[in-house]
Structure 1
């Protein structure tokens, strides 16, 4: 079913902080007010200085269940003393072996009486300050979380005892849990804790297959529908509490199919019976295929893992569920926690760690203890930028400045003199009312001249009809923009429209759902204002700008989309500003399968953007370039610096041919667990910056709150500036 895991030694965090930088803290000025914040970190009160011995543990016959492996070793606790064991790697405070005999062999029996041989091999010594030292902290903490009754699902711990049932939506459960990470920060070792949730569906993948069986009659239709349903999904196998990403379905195999296990041919059903005492009922179901990641393959896991749908449980939400407004609102009641409630959950969790007898004993065994309260930090709040509209008009400096846009002229308005609206017949009257009493009124107030459109009525409003009608319209004329009114949130219709108008025929489109054109007049005007702004931008206009102090500046943004259906296939998207107002952009999309392709494509895309910049700026190149790079994991940073960034520098040198150019390369990370609050247990306001205490001492990094939320807890963004050398200058 899966290969045996071997020890994978983690690498150190790559240093990006310049040696000459004594502090990362920005100055407090009239444009940045000092502010104290509370963050979701607990300080490690006692920092132990023990020396640990590291061992590799092998168990024969093979036993892959981590819980059973820990049980087998636990019977030798007196012999081992204080230890930490994650299922493969063992850490002890005292050495168990000698240099002459680096192996220790023990025997132990499981609950069924099977005898196992445990071989413990000395790997090395972990000294204070080593990267693995911090990893041990996390292993100790994970043991404590198990002591609290939390259950490991995937990589995080959840509380099944506190699950919330949501039975009216097909049957699902919400499991509350915690994400934790202990690591060295600027001057202290801190434990970052955040609340998380896992959507657990009570139906199996086989249940989903049976539902599809009732809808599709032919084998081809059923197989295609099932593949589309499960490809890219994450499933949970409760027998070992592991999660797997499904890549494909193997209809040529079923539970009766055999594979080689320990030198013998055994069926998948028999394997489940022997290993987990689970009987498989449906012997005709196909098998799911999960391809191991590069990291898992390095750790010894088989390249492909076959899973039986009958014992796989769906996790997460389907597209149909996400489109269900009532379901999402019901889930949000529990998952969208305001700062006060989130802080209380964190405090309660930390208190359990400090009072649970098993957890306290484990922490004490390794001379560890945590502080009672969350960490406070000194930061600052940057003054809000002034939004500049047409005619030098400005908006109020508030987080919700878009409300103030009504009645103000756009920065660069355009004339929409010929455009077409495709609308289902039953929505014709509502759409006309939305256009005349909503869109055109809002556009007029913004100095956006919007003429009456040509209306094309649709019959069914399905994807095929939209494609045919769009072809007919574009064969007869060249409208500046086409608006498509669609019935509901239907992905296939949206995809058909965008494919036809972005790939096959180049014409701007504005897709709007039926629910937005049928709302009451007051609500429609708010929607119409936003839609009018989008439409103006799509035909070359610009809504607003801010004052940019740096001249000759190009700002580049690059992100990566990973295909859920086809593993290894990704798309890179880049945008680059072309003018001082940051209102005109060059954009491009490139496909890639490897990191080498990505880095080559990024450099080539930057060159294309520079050519476009030179074209629209009378032959002049930008004197400064800031590249914001999203979609980079911690382990990819060395590659970004050594390969990707170097490719960009080489490309710049060729384009500039010896001219001076200043460049900054910044990695942006949005999916982080850090949360920043005010002392009053509210969300940190937009513009809040934290660049000390919780930042990484090895990085040139900071946190910025760049948004405001009406519900829940705001998420900051992490920025990490890369070292740029051998380029003419840096910003």
Structure 2
């Protein structure tokens, strides 16, 4: 049967606030921004409530205590020497065309009519007002030579303070980054060519970047943060073999472990999210390619010169995401576990102190090294010819240096304990030593608690409870003996039953 995957919950990104960029003039000084005539689309104004960041009685947010120090951020200022307007249009296709790539190609034919533009598949941004509204254009679809009508209708003029300016800047930025030969994993870009190989643990560490342009208090800033993606040398088949050797319920356990995981296929350097496991199929199963049916084994041998060694392994299923569907990819992607490298850390790896310490040498960088990597990324972005041309087209320029500002090193705070005792804090704000041997400033009674544990782990649980009680006694926080509730197995349902039993016993 098939093990069903879970859907990801997407968080909604909040739109940023007002933009301090005047919407007047063209990007190259060719004419001025026109005002909508009667009956035209009126520019939208955003009278959003301002966030209060200081009391009305406070003249300045700058403090006076401590010692001043110059700080550097991970932001670059966006410099725009020429102010210009943007016009936003909705683009519709008839007959309908869902593939984003095809939509872009159909519109690209008319670039001389549109002038400089940015199109994401639905929304069109231009720097000049189109002569007709709506504007109808026609293109022939290359796949079948069908004539497609393109209808372009203006939705708004983007004025100062319109959040869509920020959206537009980020679209331009991502288009520039796409030309740097980076690998898109999720929504972030990683540099596979600069990977760090950790031979001892069979891992690869891909350095990457998280970027965002946002409106800040006084300026529009490009934020760049460093990220890392862990690529494992072991495959989804290794995971399957390990689980099947340890449990008779290996199908359920394997599905739990692999569904939702991100894997990478080295033969095409692409990443996929595993949504399902097809235990009824194998590399010997066939699929339709062209006018014939072919096995997966033959396909990979002919297409990539790869010989699959395990002929009985199940197949992994990756369903198309929304952006895949928009790009015209509507079929499931079938993956061979043997050819899928795992990403991220397993629970055992996270619990390996030596492994985590070795990884920290590459991930926890000194501030100077972090700044060097961030500034190197911007230099790479602004010296790449494709990115330079794109930024120049929209008259966008980033300051080469990180934003600096003044901060303050505050005097360490005094730590108050119980019984009228106190101790001096440290400059690194680590209060661990201060708390040892001192009573808590204020504590509540803790009279009733329960611990649910596997029966075979009783000795470890009792040792844990003794350690907890001893540690709390020095803080003058009394922890009594718990109510012990042992369970025979670690199934989720068994834990739920034990918890319900405890609740009913305490709340009859």
Name the TM-score class by shorter chain: 0.5 to 0.7
Q: 2:280 and 2:456 mapped to 1: Cα distance? A: 45
Matches of 1:206 and 1:243 in 2, distance apart?
A: 16
The question of 1:197 aligning with 2:232 is answered no
2:261 is the alignment partner of 1:233 = yes
> By how many angstroms is 1:193 displaced?
0.6
Q: Quick check: 1:158 aligned with 2:190?
A: yes
1:39 corresponds to which of 63, 66, 73: 73
1:190 alignment partner, SS class: strand
Aligned to 2:401, the other structure's residue is in SS state strand
Please tell me whether the aligned partners of residues 213 and 223 of structure 2 are also in contact (alpha carbons under 8 angstroms).
yes
1:122 maps onto 2:152 in alignment: yes
Change (3 A) 1:13 1:79: closer
2:502 to 497, 502, 505: 505
Residues 193-240 of structure 1, C-alpha deviations (whole Å, 9 max, x = no match): 111111123444345335545x1685xx23112112213323346788
SS of structure 2 residue aligned to 1:43:
strand
| Structure 1 residue 345: Cα displacement | 1.0
Select 1:404's aligned residue among 384, 409, 434: 434
Structure 1 portions without partners, runs of 5+:
1-8, 451-478, 485-491, 508-731
Q: Displacement, 1:334?
A: 0.7
Verify the 8 A CA contact 1:53 1:122 in the aligned structure 2: no
2 CA distance for matches of 1:217 and 1:419? 30
Report the counterpart of residue 335 of structure 2 in structure 1: 308
Q: Secondary structure at the match of 1:208?
A: helix
Distance 2:340 2:149 in 1: 33
Residue 172 (structure 1) shift: 2.9
Q: Is contact 1:413-1:447 (8 Å) kept?
A: no
Give the structure 2 partner of residue 480 of structure 1.
481
Name the structure 1 match of 2:39.
none
C-alpha change, 1:59 and 1:381, in structure 2 (3 Å) is farther
- Larger deviation: 70-79 or 175-184? 70-79
1:142-196 CA deviation, whole Å, 9 max, x = no partner?
A: 2222333323222111111101122332x33211111111122223211111111
C-alpha spacing 1:217/1:136, structure 2 compared with 1 (3 Å): same
Match of 2:36 in 1: none
Cα distance in 2 for partners of 1:10, 1:414 equals: 42
**CA distance, structure 2, for counterparts of residue 19 and residue 425 of structure 1:** 57
The separation in 1 between residues aligned to 2:62 and 2:51, in whole angstroms, is: 21
Query: Alpha-carbon deviations, 1:615-634, whole Å to 9, x = none?
Result: xxxxxxxxxxxxxxxxxxxx
Structure 1 residues 99 and 65: CA distance shift in structure 2, 3 A: closer
Following superposition, the deviation at residue 342 of structure 1 comes to 0.9
CA distance in 2, matches of 1:116, 1:278: 37
Structure 1 Cα separation of the partners of residues 370 and 313 of structure 2: 43
Give SS of 2:434's match: helix
Contact 2:259 2:276 in 1 (8 A): yes
Match of 1:366 among 385, 389, 394: 394
Question: Is the 2:109–2:139 Cα contact (8 Å) retained in structure 1?
Answer: no
Match of 1:530 in 2: none
- More off after superposition, 226-235 vs 50-59: 50-59
The one of 59, 62, 86 equivalent to 1:51 is 86
Equivalent positions of 1:49-448 (< 5 A) are 49-52=84-87, 54=89, 56=91, 82-86=116-120, 91-93=125-127, 98-99=132-133, 101-106=135-140, 120-124=150-154, 127-129=158-160, 130-169=162-201, 171-213=202-244, 215=245, 221-236=249-264, 243-252=271-280, 256=285, 285-289=313-317, 305=332, 307-310=334-337, 312-377=340-405, 386-398=414-426, 399-410=429-440, 411-412=442-443, 445-447=474-476
How many residues of Structure 1 are paired with residues of Structure 2 in the alignment? 446
Tell me, yes or no, if the aligned pair for 1:172 and 1:200 is still in contact at 8 Å: yes
Scaled by the length of structure 1, the TM-score of the pair is: 0.48
Contact 2:208 2:228 (8 Å CA) reproduced: yes
Q: Distance in 1 between matches of 2:220 and 2:396?
A: 11
Report the CA distance shift for 1:82/1:103 in structure 2 as closer, same or farther (over 3 A): same
Q: Are residues 90 and 330 of structure 1, via their aligned partners in 2, closer, same or farther at CA, if it must alter by over 3 Å? A: farther
CA 83–228 in structure 1, closer or farther in 2 if over 3 Å, else same: same
TM-score (norm 2): 0.66
Relative to structure 1, the CA distance from residue 336 to residue 126 in structure 2 (aligned partners, 3 Å threshold; closer, same or farther) is farther
Q: 1:448-467 maps to which residues of 2 (within 5 A)? A: none
Distance, in Å, in 1 between the alignment partners of 2:146 and 2:192 is 31
- Quick one: distance in 2 between partners of 1:360 and 1:329? 39
Report if the CA contact (8 A) 1:395-1:405 is conserved: no
Deviation at 1:73, TM superposition (A): 7.8
Separation of aligned partners in 1, 2:392 and 2:410: 43
Equivalent residues of 2:78, 2:220 under 8 A apart: yes
Distance in 1 (CA, whole Å) between partners of 2:121 and 2:207 is 25
Give per-residue Cα distances to partners, 1:617-653, cap 9 Å, x unaligned: xxxxxxxxxxxxxxxxxxxxxxxxxxxxxxxxxxxxx
The verdict on how the C-alpha distance between 1:212 and 1:21 changes in structure 2, with shifts beyond 3 A counting, is closer
C-alpha change, 1:382 and 1:242, in structure 2 (3 Å) is farther
CA deviations on 1:97-120 (whole Å, 9 max, x unpaired) are 8546523315658xxxx9898875
Residue 405 to residue 21, structure 1, CA distance change in 2 (3 Å): closer
Aligned ranges for residues 527-566 of structure 1 at < 5 Å? none
Query: Relative contact order, CA 8 A, sep 6+: which one is greater?
Result: 2
The question of whether the paired residues in 2 share the 8 Å contact of 1:126 and 1:133 is answered with no
